[in-house]
Amino acid sequence: MTSKIELVPKEIVALIPQFKGDKRLYHQDLYQRKCDYVIERYGNPGREEQNLYVFNVLTSKLTENAAALLSEREDVVTWSALKELLIQHFGDPRRSALTLS
């Protein structure tokens, strides 16, 4: 049995900034905070379809280097895996422990 997917309103999607993969921490931190907000409100630990939909909403905001990186990694299909990947490639290693929490 499939359950109905709860759509993320376009006004909420508009809150998520595009992230192109630049190394300025402000951009990455802002992207992650907005994505965390969407995950908290529209993700559902027990509903894989809902979570995949939300993941696709979040990744639709990736452009340039960040989008290219994700396109090379078919194994990254969750927000936590994406967050870790972005930190590894674009983040400041001195701050990664703080950003992941």
The 10s digit of each residue's pLDDT in 24-77 is 777 889 999 999 999 999 999 899 999 999 999 999 999 999 999 999 999 999
Above 80 in pLDDT, residue 99? no
Let me know: does 69 contact 85? Beta carbons within 8 Å: yes
pLDDT at 101: 39
DSSP per-residue letters across 74-96: TT--SHHHHHHHHHHHHS-TTTH
User: Distances from the Cα of 95 to the Cαs of 26, 44, 99, in angstroms?
Assistant: 12, 28, 6
